[in-house]
């Protein structure tokens, strides 16, 4: 069942606690994401955003777009990327979606946050977004990659972009050959 553009219940704040860490409540037990959503994790996400921004040469996105009109940020986390995008491009409408309601209330008016599971059927319009981001969330967050990519491409505008930035989980060493 899809609930992407309908209202969610206040039970999204009935967080689950394990080993002293706090985890998302929405879809808990059904689609559990492995990282916590408490303050230390939010700080880590903010730092990670800054690192990714600097590592990409102070770019908010790589796609060759002058100024996208409609942007979707999948797994937005604390929403910094969505907020900075909205600040830099005041004409752009940005939607950030996440399992956890950890985005600030003071975001610019052209960014909206939604709580949902992006593995559900999307109810945003098809052929719509100039830019769909998926940044550092696939690992551990998505079970059905084929469906995820298919939905992303279906909901991109005809000349839009799906931009996916992931980290590699390969273990490497400069002095030891890992078998």
Ligand X SMILES: C[S@@+](CC[C@H](N)C(=O)[O-])C[C@H]1O[C@@H](n2cnc3c(N)ncnc32)[C@H](O)[C@@H]1O
- List residues near ligand X by CB under 6 A: 24, 31, 33, 45, 48-49, 75-77, 81, 97-100, 117-119, 135-137, 141
Q: Which two tokens stand for residue 34?
A: 């492995």
Q: Are 94 and 111 in contact (CB under 8 A)?
A: yes
Q: Which two tokens stand for residue 52?
A: 């990714």
What is the nearest approach in angstroms of ligand X to the Cβ of residue 177?
Answer: 30
CB-CB neighbours of 56 under 10 Å: 12
What is the nearest approach in angstroms of ligand X to the Cβ of residue 48?
Answer: 5
From residue 140, how far is each of 136, 137, 144 by CA, in Å? 10, 7, 11
Q: Are 81 and 89 in contact (CB under 8 A)?
A: no
Q: Which residues of 118-146 are buried (b: 16+ CB within 10 A; e: fewer)?
A: bbeebebeeebbbbbbbbbbbeebbeeee
Q: Which is nearer to ligand X, 143 or 177 (CB)?
A: 143
What is the nearest approach in angstroms of ligand X to the Cβ of residue 168?
Answer: 14
What is the nearest approach in angstroms of ligand X to the Cβ of residue 66?
Answer: 23
Q: Which is nearer to ligand X, 117 or 130 (CB)?
A: 117
Q: Which is nearer to ligand X, 93 or 119 (CB)?
A: 119
What is the nearest approach in angstroms of ligand X to the Cβ of residue 73?
Answer: 7
Q: Which is nearer to ligand X, 25 or 156 (CB)?
A: 25
Q: Which is nearer to ligand X, 105 or 173 (CB)?
A: 105
């Amino acid at each position: 069942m899809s609930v992407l553009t309908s209202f969610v219940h206040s039970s999204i704040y009935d967080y689950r606690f394990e080993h002293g860490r706090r985890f998302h409540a929405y879809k808990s037990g059904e689609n559990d994401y492995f990282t916590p959503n408490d303050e230390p994790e939010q700080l880590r996400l903010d730092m990670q955003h800054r690192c990714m921004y600097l590592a990409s040469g102070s770019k908010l996105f790589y796609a060759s777009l002058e100024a996208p009109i409609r942007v979707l940020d999948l797994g937005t986390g604390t929403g910094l990327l969505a907020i900075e995008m909205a600040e830099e491009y005041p004409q752009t409408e940005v939607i950030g979606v996440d399992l956890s309601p950890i985005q600030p209330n003071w975001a610019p008016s052209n960014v909206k946050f939604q709580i949902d599971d992006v593995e559900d059927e999307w109810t945003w319009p098809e052929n719509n977004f100039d830019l769909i981001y998926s940044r550092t969330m696939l690992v551990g967050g998505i079970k059905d990659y084929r469906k995820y990519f298919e939905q992303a491409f279906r909901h991109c505008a005809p000349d839009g972009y799906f931009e996916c930035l992931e980290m590699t989980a390969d273990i490497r060493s400069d002095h030891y050959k890992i078998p």
